[in-house]
Amino acid sequence: MNYNLLEMTPEEIKTGIVEGKITIAILGQGYIGLPLSCYLASKGARVIGVDIDPTVVEQINAGSPHIYEPGLKKILQDVLQKENFRVTADVGDAVRQSEIIMITVGTPVEKDGINFSYVERACKDVAGSMKRGSMILLRSTVAPLSTEKMVRKMLQTGSGMIAGKDFCLAFCPERTVEGNAFKELPRLPRIIGGINEKSTNVAAAIFEVLTTKDNIIKVSSPRIAEMAKIFDNVYRDTNIALANELAVICEKLGVDVIETIKACNTGYGRTNMLIPGAGVGGSCLNKDPYILSFLVREKGFEPSLILSARARNTSMPNHVVDLVIEAFDNMNKEIKGSKITILGFAFKSDTDDTRETVAVPIISILKEQGANIVVFDPYVPQEKIESQVGKVDKAQVLLKAIEKSDCLVVLTDHHEFRQLNLPEIKKHLAIPAAIIDGRHVINPKEAIKEGLIFKGVGRPATYFKEQLEL
């Protein structure tokens, strides 16, 4: 039975979804699409995932997700067993069977701008198979006006139908982060901008299956929702850039940046400073400022603050390398021929996501300087690492990774790294040895007490030595 969402009330739509009568197709089964698919299916929805990679399709249908997300494997296997989720590479077939189509494909940054080809391809495929009365929800990060102009035009041209009259169209940005998807999916606010009031209300009804009405934020147009997503990430990127610059200043002045930031933030609502580190990874913060910059440059405005923030964050991997060089100078050792152990390759904690990871530039520079690199990351497989940095050794256990190592460089704040036993670690290192902490998981005083050379982003060893002497 086909359902025309334009003729249904919000309650009828919600009931139809949770009872598995209304089918949802989700295009793109990556870090956003797959958890979303599984979560909706766990609520009773009938979901068809779509991915153009046949290997990914085969893995997911076999109950083995190609990405790591806490809780994902169990939920995937549960919904597969209940037969209300499956994945296919046939976009047309999935769309023809569905009333709701969500587009969650990537929009990567390239040298000359943002690559919207995956969105364009998805729109073309959807337009050729969509039914009257369907809802098309764009979730991929795009430039403002993309939904109203590019997506709308492609869908109307390919289908012969009119948006708002024959089908619903809305933009609703995804705001979940890797590692917390199943915690955030039910509680994060959903910003929804439809091309007309009916589209907005239908989209709101869909997302009320995931969360409460209080978490639904209706805005007046798709471009507001598109811009809000970009604002989110530009704000965070700029805030991190400020923290990173203050961290470098603190190193020069002999002040601990972490304790200072905590003092600023505690109980004082006017300050919400983020934590500095080895750099900014992931697809969003590295991409969204450029989306805005490319767009506004065409209008004759240079967004100097945003681009300066990007430059500061992009420079941090080089700063970490400088800390490594300083540590080797302190040890009177040469980097060439040394063993350097990289702790963490993923861009954030407790995930296997390596998109825009700071480990790539750092490892590349250290390899060029002649270091022998060993990587230990409990989540990222060796083939994924070597596809980005070439041949490196990857240890399966921590103690093997650090054996006879001259220097440890912490680049990911995995939970496991927050519990390192420094006295035990020291026994396996090539003393004198150093720890470079790019993610603030090491206690500087403990490292110094153990006789290790300590370098942390914004955490000068001189400060902690002075504290120990008091």
Rounded Cα distance, 192 and 171, in Å: 6
- 284 belongs to the catalytic site: yes
Q: Which entry of 229, 287, 339, 455 is annotated as an active-site residue?
A: 229
The answer to whether 63 touches 90, Cβ cutoff 8 Å, is no
Q: Which entry of 284, 287, 333, 407 is annotated as an active-site residue?
A: 284
- 455 belongs to the catalytic site: no
* Integer angstrom CA distances of residue 112 from 3, 140, 229, 359: 42, 19, 22, 24
Closest CA to 145 of 295, 289, 299, 297: 295
> Strands 168-171 and 135-138: what pairing?
parallel
The answer to whether 243 touches 273, Cβ cutoff 8 Å, is yes
Rounded Cα distance, 342 and 439, in Å: 12
Residue 359 CB contacts under 8 Å (≥ 6 apart), including other chains: 342, 344, 345, 347, 375, 389, 411, 412
Neighbours of 392 (CB within 10 A): 17
For the chain, the residue count is 470
Q: What is the DSSP track for 200-225? A: HHHHHHHHTTTS-GGGEEE-SSHHHH
| DSSP-based three-state secondary structure for 325 | helix
Longest pairwise C-alpha distance within the chain: 78
The answer to whether 307 touches 293, Cβ cutoff 8 Å, is yes
Rounded Cα distance, 422 and 434, in Å: 12
Active site residues: 229, 284
